[in-house]
Chain A
């Protein structure tokens, strides 16, 4: 069910125009669901959910070259957030989300360096981090709002 919700958000977001012409920058609204799920379900469940979303997302957007980047990013992000879940209380979920976004960027960047066989792309890393922090904070706050409603 949550995978479906994440997919719908992902598809809706595809319709948005890219505001910033930098490869890899995206708001990642579907990650609201991921952040939420990390704090709500077991690691295995979240992993399967994210995996399904990434693969189906690539099929729906017909952008298969992006698959490997989003996959690497999502896995780094997920791994990090599952660890952070133990340390960071629900109240500070936005922090977890920001660090997750940074890890996502790191994963993407690593794949880009390997794919292009050049470190020249790493100059985009700071931009990705800045964008990731902002997007991460936003998705984190959204997830927090959803969780609050959930607990009541």
Chain B
């Protein structure tokens, strides 16, 4: 095995392990925001890099609404203090499959509509 190949395998293995650790940190336990206090818990709906709506999950009532623009629509549901995209007219439906917004770091993303839902700072 040539040295260059060995070196590359080592580098790839290192990146792989680092990526696994990062994934666990970002998605695993401890990534959820603190819900123990009664204070507001803000989420932002961002489109094209602009915040179009800011909601407080702790005071929002359960409801379903649509966000629409010329690219298409996404149906957002708030239930028991959790927010998710429940339907959309995009071809991949990845945002729907993502489920509820859980991690503080990981937004719900709809790439076709350039839409994002995340916890506000």
Q: Separation in Å of the A13 CB from the closest CB of chain B? A: 14
What's the A-B contact tally at a CB cutoff of 8 Å? 102
Chain A, interface SS category:
helix
Residues of chain B within 8 A (CB-CB) of A130 are 16, 19-20, 23
Residues of chain B within 8 A (CB-CB) of A66 are 91-92, 111-112
Are B9 and A95 in contact (CB-based, < 8 A)?
Answer: yes
Question: Please, how many residues of chain B have a CB less than 8 angstroms from a CB on the other chain?
Answer: 37
Are B48 and A120 in contact (CB-based, < 8 A)?
Answer: no
Given contacts A23-B98, A116-B46, A129-B16, 9 further A-B contacts (CB under 8 A): A23-B92, A63-B91, A65-B90, A87-B5, A88-B5, A120-B46, A120-B118, A129-B19, A130-B20
Could you tell me which B residues sit within 8 Å of A by CB distance? 1-2, 4-5, 8-9, 12, 15-16, 18-20, 22-23, 26-27, 46, 48-49, 90-92, 94-95, 97-99, 103, 105-107, 109, 111-112, 114, 116, 118
